Structures are given as structure tokens and as C-alpha cells.
Amino acid sequence: MVHKIALVGIGKIAVDQHIPAITNNPDFELSATVSRHASIDGVESYTSLDDMLEKRPDIGIVSLAIPPQPRFDYAVKALRAGRHVMLEKPPGQSLAECYALEKMAQEKGVSLFATWHSRFADSIPAAKDWLKSRTIKRFRITWKEDVRRWHPGQEWIWEPGGLGVFDPGINALSIMTEILPYDVHINAAKLEFPSNRDTPIAAHLAFTNPDNAVMDAVFDWRQEGPQTWDIDIETDQGEMKMSSGGAKLSIDGKSIVEGSDHEYANLYAQMHTLVQNRASDVDLSPMIHVCDAYALGKRITIAEFEF
């Protein structure tokens, strides 16, 4: 069975990732788009989600590739209309919103998928398996990128609910919570806020863990030149490095995975499985870490940052 899907939001992430993943998957048909400013050639387009839901009852899945601030209202409309819903990361601008959507999906008997695309990188299964039988001594996340390159003109990321540097940083947290053999929690954080912004541009997090390992994460949105998305792990039985956001994996200096960009293809394959089984996948552990960072973090005000 081919599932008809509507894509809401036709921005950079939709064009770069969602549309190719949908069109290359034989289990889906991109049947409609919803956007106030953009459309896709050959695909029926709407400027209103309400209009699409009313006129296209045959479309069973709605994928939301819009900023987190308005996402809750869109998801509620789709769920109330009995449609399966796929949420771009982060799944919402607050935990309460996410829990409410999860409950609504259960009541409606439809699938809800809170996606974490970095968890579907090629190296994740091997990294997770390797760590299961080892004691971690040192765990360091280094996630540094240029916000001007990856979010050109996207002012929403600096507004409340936009998460700031945690928008990319939550990708690293989604990997960490997937590959670690146990739960961890933040016990200290420092957040750097430009004086003219409502969300942080940099963060340093420290974690408590059962191995008593030194475990921390550094996020920074001011990186120029080469971009850095690395996780370095030292254990009692060797060292592991994940790079390129999880696409590459090396152990003791030997390359194990030299992955391609299959994350969104894997996401949509998972969405197909969930819909087939009327199941949901709503793991909020990466979001919990972000909320804890805001709750525990020492706020440091720095110079203005012009975007």
C-alpha cells in the first residue's frame, strides 16, 4: 500500500531532506504541500492546513517541517482530523506540548513520530553495540557550527521556543541518549546569551553518569571554516570517535563506518513501519536534557550577535 502524505513547510530542510526522502521511497506519495510562500512543481499546494485537511481526506499522513513554535497547533489539527503525524525535531517548543500530542495520538488511534534524524545516521547501531560491554571513562560532545551558514535569515531560532544553539545541539543529545547503555542527567550548565537574543549561542553541559566518567558537551554557533560535529569516547577497552554528525565511526583509529546521508530516508522508513502497525515513537529524552540545561544553567550575557 502506498501512503499519501502531505508535507507542511517548504523551507530549506524540506527541500534538502524531506522531499528527496519521500519521493525516493516507494511506500509514499507526496500528494500535497502546505506553505504560505512556496510550492513544489507537480504537487498540489495549499496555503492553509485546514483547507488541505478538508479537501484531501484521502491523505493519511502529515509531515510537519516547520519551526517548533507553531508546530503544536498544526499537529493538533492533523491529529483531530485522524491523520498520522510526523514531527521534525525538536518535536515541540515545550515538553508539555509533546506529552499532550502523544496523549491525543493515543486517543485517536493514529501514529505520532517525534523524529530525531541524527539517531538514524549510519554509525548509530555499531556505536551502540560497541558501548554495551565497555565502561566509559571519558565522553565528550563537540558540536560547533556556523549559524549563518545553516540558518540563513531564520529569525525564529533566536526567539523563545526556538532553542538557539540547542537546535543543532539536540541532535548530539539524541545520539547520546540512543547509544549510551544507561541514562544520564545534567548536573551543571553554562549558557551564553547574546545581549540582543532570547536564546543561547553557546552552551557547556556536564552530566552525571553511573560510570563516574567525565562527561560533557560543548555547543557553539560561532564556528567559521570547517564545521565540527564529533563525539569522542574513551573506555576501558579502547576509544571510539563519531564524526560528521554520526555518519562516520572509527574505533582505535580504524574506520568502521564511512556513511552517506541516509538519515531522512531511514526516518521515513520508520514512519512507514509505525503507520503499518498503528504505533507511535515519542522519545523525549533529548528534549528533557535541553529543558534541564535551561533550568540548571548559569546564564552568561555576552556581546550582541548580528545575524
User: Domain 118-259+291-302 adopts which CATH fold?
Assistant: Dihydrodipicolinate Reductase; domain 2 (3.30.360)
- The answer, yes or no, to whether residue 79 has pLDDT greater than 80, is yes
Q: What is the DSSP letter of 213?
A: -
Class of domain 3-114: alpha beta
- Break the chain into its structural domains and give their ranges: 3-114, 118-259+291-302
pLDDT band at 1 (very low <50, low <70, confident <90, very high): confident
- Extended strands (E) in the chain: 3-8, 28-34, 44-46, 61-64, 84-87, 112-114, 136-144, 185-194, 202-208, 214-220, 228-235, 238-243, 248-251, 254-258, 298-302
Q: What is the pLDDT of residues 151-202, one digit of tens each?
A: 988 999 999 999 999 999 999 999 999 999 999 999 999 999 999 999 999 9
pLDDT in the model for residue 259: 76
pLDDT in the model for residue 261: 81
Q: Give the CA distances from residue 226 to residues 108, 244, 250, 257, 290, in Å, rounded to whole numbers and listed in that order.
A: 46, 11, 19, 21, 25
- Among the listed residues 169, 74, 192, 179, the one whose alpha carbon sits nearest the alpha carbon of residue 121: 179
Q: Fold identical between 3-114 and 118-259+291-302?
A: no
Going 80 to 82 to 83 to 84, the CA torsion angle's sign is positive
Q: What is the pLDDT of residues 267-298, one digit of tens each?
A: 999 999 999 999 999 999 999 999 999 999 99
> Strand, helix or coil at 242?
strand
Q: Which residues are catalytic?
A: 89
pLDDT in the model for residue 197: 97
How crowded is residue 130: how many other Cβ atoms within 10 Å of its Cβ? 19
> Which residues lie below 8 Å from residue 194, measured CB to CB, with a gap of 6+?
201, 301, 302, 303, 304, 305
| Cβ density class 136-162: b for 16+ within 10 Å, e for less | beebebbbbbebeeebeebebbbbebb
Q: How far is it, in rounded angstroms, from Cα 45 to Cα 7? A: 10
Task: Give mean pLDDT, residues 66-71.
Answer: 95
> Which residues lie below 8 Å from residue 289, measured CB to CB, with a gap of 6+?
170, 173, 177, 185, 186, 205
- The answer, yes or no, to whether residue 260 has pLDDT greater than 80, is no
